[in-house]
Amino acid sequence: MSWLDTLNALGVQVDALGNCQVSAANNRDTAVTITPLTHLGLFDVVGPDAEKFLQGQLSCDVQKVSAGKSLLGSHCNIKGSMISLSRLMPVEGGFWLRTERSILDAAMANLKKYMIFSKAQSQNHSDEIVGLGISGEQASALLTAQGFSIPAASGDTTIVKDGVLIRVPGDRFELWLPAAEAETLLTSLIKTASLADTDSWKLAEIRNGIPSLQTETLETFIPQMTNLQVFEGVSFSKGCYTGQEVITRLQHRGKLNRPMYRLAFTADQAPAPGTAINTPDRAGVGTVVSAAMNADTEGELLAVILKTSVDDDSTILTLENSDQPLERLTLPYALDPELFERPQRL
């Protein structure tokens, strides 16, 4: 039985984009929820030069991943704009890179273009290695009862048999395992936990201010525009990597005009990534990064927006083709105020 067949048998339907919906029978009130991370996929970069290669391509410090951390890292073009965004995790012989399924093939292909001169190789493992998102006040206890060693802090990892357990912001966990092992584990977990759909996981990511990258937003954002530095997704001390000059110049000599914010919206469905945000006087002051519903006609989103438009509370922000005002919400972290105070230097 395949992973999707297993999920279908449990009342989980997965659409063509990888988003899963859970049947009403699974809507139980439990202290732990399990989300099949079917909207995400995984590829590896392995070999003697894997760390050196990725260190010269990605924005994060890959040496920290080798030491046991899990970090977000972007692959940028020479202009500093993100062409992929992945969560890295350490495995024997190299790294797993977890990313949105919609951009996975392109993300892997863009890295492989530069891999020809390195002793490293890459392969898509999305059909073999699958993810479970585990959240709730008893998540740690449930995983401990299953024999897992719990990572101590956000970004810490535990190597499990043939897989990796990561504590992610919001006191949640991502668990990546071979499909056969995940099937067995899920059967055990749902005895006391309930299944949740993709939107619930995306909503938690949004509330923790964690960016994602989709096909519609490729080459749209410089990493700091999505607050990636908050999560150590950008290193300013490790040395050269693709796009590093632009990214570092913005950090040390520039001024960030468009950071990422969290907002609430009213609509029948979530706006697609890349949807424009407007004001009455100006179109395109912002761009949706990600969005998820939390009720029939309500949801939350992350968006990169012109800071002056957000700072002025009297300015009405709306989604493209909508007259419903967006509500400003807080993020669980603060951005370095110096990013917005430095004068632009040419």
CB atoms within 10 A of CB 161: 8
Are 216 and 187 in the same domain?
yes
φ/ψ of 96, rounded to 5, equals: -100, 140
Final residue of a structural domain among 240, 256, 272: 256
pLDDT tens figures, 66-92? 999 999 999 999 999 999 999 999 999
Are 242 and 311 in the same domain?
no
As given in the structure block, the two tokens for residue 333 are 């972290």
Report if residue 344 sits inside a domain.
Answer: no
Are 280 and 171 in the same domain?
no
Percent of the chain whose predicted confidence (pLDDT) is above 90: 87
Are 316 and 206 in the same domain?
no
pLDDT band at 45 (very low <50, low <70, confident <90, very high): very high
Question: How far is the C-alpha of 43 from the C-alpha of 62, rounded, in Å?
Answer: 16
Token pair 């067949």 is found at 5
Are 252 and 272 in the same domain?
no
Element (H, E) at 139: helix 139-145
Report if residue 338 sits inside a domain.
Answer: no
pLDDT band at 171 (very low <50, low <70, confident <90, very high): confident
Report if residue 335 sits inside a domain.
Answer: no
* CA neighbor of 62 nearest in space, from 232, 282, 181, 258: 232
Report if residue 317 sits inside a domain.
Answer: yes
Average pLDDT for 29-50 = 95
As given in the structure block, the two tokens for residue 51 are 């760390």
pLDDT value at position 338?
Answer: 83
CATH number at residue 299: 2.40.30.160
pLDDT tens figures, 124-138? 999 999 999 999 999
pLDDT band at 341 (very low <50, low <70, confident <90, very high): confident
Are 189 and 273 in the same domain?
no
Report if residue 195 sits inside a domain.
Answer: yes
pLDDT at residue 193 greater than cutoff 70: yes
pLDDT tens figures, 110-163? 999 999 889 999 999 999 999 999 999 999 999 999 999 999 999 999 999 899
pLDDT value at position 346?
Answer: 37
pLDDT tens figures, 243-294? 999 998 887 667 899 999 999 999 999 999 999 999 999 999 999 999 999 9
Are 267 and 234 in the same domain?
no
Are 49 and 183 in the same domain?
yes
Question: How far is the C-alpha of 112 from the C-alpha of 338, rounded, in Å?
Answer: 36
Report if residue 296 sits inside a domain.
Answer: yes
pLDDT at residue 206 greater than cutoff 70: yes
Q: pTM of the full predicted structure? A: 0.95
Are 218 and 115 in the same domain?
yes
As given in the structure block, the two tokens for residue 192 are 């006391």
Report if residue 212 sits inside a domain.
Answer: yes
φ/ψ of 324, rounded to 5, equals: -80, 120
Strand pairing class (194-195; 33-36): parallel
pLDDT value at position 295?
Answer: 81
pLDDT at residue 345 greater than cutoff 50: no
| Residue 328 C-alpha from the chain's centroid | 21
The domain in which residue 302 lies consists of: 258-330
pLDDT value at position 253?
Answer: 67
Are 103 and 167 in the same domain?
yes
pLDDT value at position 221?
Answer: 98
pLDDT value at position 5?
Answer: 93
pLDDT tens figures, 318-340? 999 999 999 999 999 999 888 88
Question: How far is the C-alpha of 12 from the C-alpha of 167, rounded, in Å?
Answer: 24
Report if residue 340 sits inside a domain.
Answer: no
Are 128 and 195 in the same domain?
yes
Q: Which amino acid is at 134?
A: I
Question: How far is the C-alpha of 141 from the C-alpha of 274, rounded, in Å?
Answer: 39
Are 233 and 282 in the same domain?
no
pLDDT at residue 344 greater than cutoff 50: no
Strand pairing class (172-178; 129-135): antiparallel
pLDDT band at 342 (very low <50, low <70, confident <90, very high): low
Return mean pLDDT, the chain: 94
List the Cα angle 22/28/34 in 5-degree steps: 55
If one counts the domains in the chain, the total is: 2
* CA neighbor of 258 nearest in space, from 311, 219, 301: 311
Contacts of 183 (CB under 8 A, 6+ apart): 1, 3, 6
Question: How far is the C-alpha of 215 from the C-alpha of 291, rounded, in Å?
Answer: 14
